[in-house]
Chains A and B, each alone.
Chain A
């Protein structure tokens, strides 16, 4: 397993090329092309702000203004997470030709999915930055240093889960359908459109078990809340867990690897 893991480094060039291909191919043929990477999160934000400031205005505490910005801090990384998992569930089957006909390291496929979605996440960041400037949020540059670390933790965690999901979906195709609903549930079980403090006391323990909750809170701490990053202990624990999830995901993937060529 560790031998294969090391071999992954050799595929840097391949991964890079495939990510580029993915990004190029995604918007090929659409009028707005690459702009969709900016427009998509923007539209999503508009929808949520409409719902939570116009339709349900009183639902959030008044000190949480601007609420749209708060939600955006979570929605952006969540989109990266959820579309990575959804896409990786089909990626091995879609790339069946490669696995069956070419000597091709299969783990590259889910990794490329996660990375391509990460690029989309990065492309959404300028929009977030514009909003931060627009609302004149005070940002602590020291606190911002945490940001790359949070992204890294999310990357490791998401990749681990993507490897697991992609490998299992080859054997159980229903995961694809199940996953969509599971992710919706997961979305609402994560403090993204509501702050953690608003969750009922007796539910906190359950939310604390959710790794994504701590990631999102970390993003919110760094980008939205004023004051020092108070969530770093949770984040470090999560970093350790992310590595475990990654190794676990890779282990399962590696065990099932030989069956891919026959099953996809």
Chain B
């Protein structure tokens, strides 16, 4: 390849002409990806802010409603997502040291864990659907007192607010997971075509940044949605 590629100066084929060298190109891509991630922080930040305002207005209602969420699903999904972040980090490491086989293996593992997360989430949404806990879409908003939740009838209206936050926040997070699996598919195809080497792995690196960001969002969603009611002595 090098003999047919007679350029004015020697440089790697992946180096774009407007960059001085591979380091500068890599740093620019990383910075650009972080700028995108900052807009994502603002996007989710708005929802976290609104959640905080409403929770401070209806602390007891939110705590009581949180008991309708299943922390086992949430904890399992946290564990799955953290493992997927580990395999993603190892995929990036493999790309950096130029180990193509390991890169492909870790990408596949990351996708498997990502899909596992979505499947668990699907079961969880189904449970809420059967339980009639989907605002606007449930057959009837069943919120009368029962043995397990003896004080919930008084919170029927506020409970819908928390469930709206729940579906919007976890829903947007799940959409980001879907996009992430799509990105990983693309990166895997690129890796199989032999596009990456120890000199050039920028797409792997910045896709990893995206994947880890989605993990961070979940790190905050888990305690804020699933675990706020367990310890409170509810009136």
Check if A and B associate.
no
* Residues in B lying within 8 Å of A, measured CB to CB: none
* Residues in A lying within 8 Å of B, measured CB to CB: none
